[in-house]
Amino acid sequence: AVALAALLPTARARRSQDLHCGACRALVDELEWEIAQVDPRKTIQMGSFRINPDGSQSVVEVPYARSETHLTDLLERVCEKMKEYGEKVDPSTHRKSYVRVISHDGTKMDLSGVKIDGDVTSSLKFACESIAEEYEDELIEFLSHEADNVKDRLCSKRTDLCDHALHIPHDEL
């Protein structure tokens, strides 16, 4: 009984780490997908509201998709997408990962071995919201510029949410 009690915190910590890592990776996937849906020609005016000595303002147009305005808006609502995810357990390692159960384009998905229930989605949504709030500045920093490997750079290197998961394959939505 003592040995079993000693193992429980380890299993619980790994489950929590799997959840937070999965939530981070799903969050980045969803943000990158949303950014890709924006018309690349759409721009937003950014700049200072100060008036220069010559009467002009320093305003520039930037692409809307990766603007701080758009990214902030996305961060406020992206965790709702976690209800479209399920939990998959690796039979050999017993590690949990989170996969989309509803495709963006309506194609049929292989859901064998995927657990879909309210507890999974609410835990994932809560973890997503915590990460989005805690790492908002980092998310905006990484996503405001087209960067490679945002999932690994943010979820593994910057935050250590996935320090165990550098071997997770790069899944595309």
DSSP 105-124: S------TTEE--HHHHHHH
Residue 165 lies in a domain: no
Name the domain count of the chain.
1
Question: How many other C-beta atoms can be found within 10 angstroms of the C-beta atom of residue 119?
Answer: 9
Question: How many other C-beta atoms can be found within 10 angstroms of the C-beta atom of residue 152?
Answer: 17
Residue 85 lies in a domain: yes
Residue 10 lies in a domain: no
Which pLDDT value is given to residue 15? Answer: 65
Which pLDDT value is given to residue 110? Answer: 85
Residue 30 lies in a domain: yes
Residue 140 lies in a domain: yes
Q: Which residue positions in the chain have pLDDT lower than 50?
A: 3-11, 165-173
Which CB contacts under 8 angstroms, 24+ apart, belong to 86-90? 86/111, 86/114, 86/115, 86/116, 86/120, 87/22, 87/114, 87/115, 87/116, 87/120, 87/124, 88/113, 88/114, 88/115, 89/113, 89/115
Q: Which of 70, 74, 68 is nearest to 128 (CA)?
A: 74
Which pLDDT value is given to residue 164? Answer: 61
Q: What residues make up the domain containing 77?
A: 15-38+65-158
Which pLDDT value is given to residue 8? Answer: 43
